[in-house]
Structure 1
Amino acid sequence: MVNLTNKEKFLLEGEKYQHQLAIDKYNNYVAQSQDSILKNLFSNLVKIEEKHLSIINEMLQGQVPQINTESIHPYYENNSINSNDLFNIGNIILSSIDTNHYEDGDKIICFDALTTEELLYSTSSSASLEFKNTEFEDALKYIINEKSENIKYISTYMSKRGMYNNTIYF
């Protein structure tokens, strides 16, 4: 059992809140998405965020989470980020031919999800500084690494769909 300082508890509670918001948001995006591949991407992000929330809850209880570091991002399968041809999301493959095929609503929620992941990456990175050289350092590094993969995951989908090619209107 690890005793947390008030500051550590405060930071973890903030992380817990932010991850729960992301779960709620991504569950809504599953329902709102027009593209079935995007629905799958958001379903995967919900699973990832639920895993992060579980890790944070363990830490808040003073438990050191057991992290399986073999698979940093289990839902980001068989992808080469540098590949211009293929992107595999849960066994569904997008190719570069799929560009410019999206609904405006999907583009808006993708941009919001990308911003959400960037915020979570930033807050997790900042919080991790407080836990440097503690029992929780590896758990936070794991979450930060997955956040980085989530950003690539969303960004690659958006790139393959051509969502960066024109202006977004709100």
Structure 2
Amino acid sequence: MSLQLSQKERMLLEDQKHQEEICVQKYKSFAEHAKDQELKNLLNKLASEEQHHYDMVNQMLQGQAPDMSHKQQGGQSNQSSTSNQQTGFHGAMSNQSDEVLCSDLLATEKYVSSTYDTTVFEAANPVVRQAVQHIQQDEQRHGQELFDYMNSHGMYEVK
């Protein structure tokens, strides 16, 4: 199936492609700098999902219906093991460093999700709209996973 994009859809998708490229770069870079192995694993998983989003947007820009299936790499664990608990001065410093990475990524996910909101409302093509809604739901899930990690590691307290 060949997609015909309006000028506005093309412009919005180009913007989203750029945002996805930034997300992939941030997640990969931040995974390398994360101190906690659990966080490294989460960020690498999310980098893979962001790459899939980039690929989907690129497919649409090339006039193709996007492949929305994405094979997950391994399972996701929301549990933190005792070996992942950080203690003492070095643990506190690691936790503080990882908190900065997580806070930045959570802010990024909030922003990217909001930009997809505009694209959903401006997409005239139903295939584009459905794909963008799918990506936006993933972005919101990414934010939830980051929040859950932060909350479970004392980085984000809900009062």
Please tell me the TM-score bracket, short chain as reference: 0.7 to 0.9
Residue-by-residue CA offset, 1:101-143 (whole Å, 9 max, x unaligned): 6521100010000001111110011111111552212111110
Give the 5 Å matches for 1:11-160: 11-68=12-69, 74=72, 88-89=77-78, 93-94=79-80, 98=85, 103-132=95-124, 134-160=126-152
Report the residue type matching 1:152 in the other structure: Q
Structure ranking higher in strand proportion: 1
How many residue pairs are counted as aligned between the two chains?
A: 150
Deviation of the 1:154 alpha carbon: 0.2
Give the TM-score normalised by the residue count of structure 1.
0.78
Report the residue type matching 1:54 in the other structure: D
Residue-by-residue CA offset, 1:63-93 (whole Å, 9 max, x unaligned): 111323xx8x947957xxxxxxxxx25xxx3
Deviation of the 1:42 alpha carbon: 0.7
CA distance in 1, matches of 2:130, 2:81: 35
List alignment gaps of at least 5 residues for structure 1.
79-87, 166-170
* Displacement over 6 Å in runs of 4+: none
Structure ranking higher in helix proportion: 2
CA distance in 1, matches of 2:38, 2:132: 29
Deviation of the 1:99 alpha carbon: 8.6
RMSD of equivalent CA atoms: 2.5
Deviation of the 1:4 alpha carbon: 1.3
1:18–1:12 CA distance, 2 compared to 1 (3 A):
same
Partners of 1:52 and 1:143 within 8 A in 2: yes
Report the residue type matching 1:38 in the other structure: L
Report the residue type matching 2:53 in the other structure: H
